[in-house]
A and B are shown apart, each in its own frame.
Chain A
Amino acid sequence: SYELTQPPSVSVSPGQTARITCSGDALPKKYAYWYQQKSGQAPVLVIYEDSKRPSGIPERFSGSSSGTMATLTISGAQVEDEADYYCYSTDSSGNHRGVFGGGTKLTVL
């Protein structure tokens, strides 16, 4: 079955740039989406269609995709950005089956 691969953890100091990667064979043909999940809360969409930012999401969140890798970048990470981040996409089967990456714990301290 199709898989998306993320690093388990990323750590930065406040004000630094955090980059979280997501690799998958279908990403050249399928969009990547990124979700932020804080403890005990439902996930929140922070990037859609590789690089678009929903209204209300701070400008420090950006996304890009090249080849088989998508990247979420948090420029000037804040303490409140500490959370789990998940990439999401669909497989190339034509059945619109979703898949999440394993998640990345972002620590900002």
Chain B
Amino acid sequence: EVQLVESGGGLVQPGGSLRLSCAASGFTFSSYWMHWVRQAPGKGLVWVSRINSDGSSTSYADSVKGRFTISRDNAKNTLYLQMNSLRAEDTAVYYCARVGMGLDYWGQGTLVTVSS
């Protein structure tokens, strides 16, 4: 059974940093591209970033470019999102998702709250 479990969310002050993790199981993690998607409270889904299967290629939404870094450790079956210079508008539930038939499997999300 495919499982994606996010962790690392929490309360952080504006300007602070946080690293999210997404632990994958039930499939060959190293064969799949992965994405991060976020959803602010009461708002819609917003694409954040993606990484290819071996980590050699990444893309970012304009709103996070230069502040967020996506990476992966295929030996640990784990996807990461390093978030720096956090702003109030980064407050959201962050989901990781696998690229199979589109974004076919999603985690349950981890909440990041940026507030003083």
Q: Does A24 contact B (CB under 8 A)?
A: no
Contacts of A96 in B (CB 8 A): 33, 50, 59
- A-side interface size class: 20 to 34
Say which residue of A49, A97, A102, A103 sits within 8 Å of B102 (CB atoms): A49
Q: How far, in whole Å, are A37 and B109 apart by their CA atoms in the complex?
A: 13
Say which residue of B33, B45, B61 sits within 8 Å of A35 (CB atoms): B45
- B-side interface size class: 20 to 34
Give chain B nearest CB distance to A31 CB in angstroms.
Answer: 8
Does the CB pair B108–A42 fall under 8 Å? yes
Closest-by-CB residue of B relative to A42 is B106
Give chain B nearest CB distance to A64 CB in angstroms.
Answer: 16
Give the residue among B44, B60, B62, B109 with the most A Cβ atoms within 10 A.
B44
Say which residue of B45, B62, B108 sits within 8 Å of A37 (CB atoms): B45
Known: A97-B61, A98-B47, A102-B44. A45 touches B104 (CB 8 A): yes
Q: How far, in whole Å, are A37 and B37 apart by their CA atoms in the complex?
A: 13
CB-CB contacts of B51-67 with A at 8 A, as 1s and 0s? 00000000111100000
Q: Does B46 contact A (CB under 8 A)?
A: yes
Contacts of A42 in B (CB 8 A): 95, 106-109
Q: How far, in whole Å, are A3 and B35 apart by their CA atoms in the complex?
A: 18
Q: How far, in whole Å, are A35 and B44 apart by their CA atoms in the complex?
A: 12
Q: Does B101 contact A (CB under 8 A)?
A: yes
Say which residue of A45, A48, A100 sits within 8 Å of B47 (CB atoms): A100
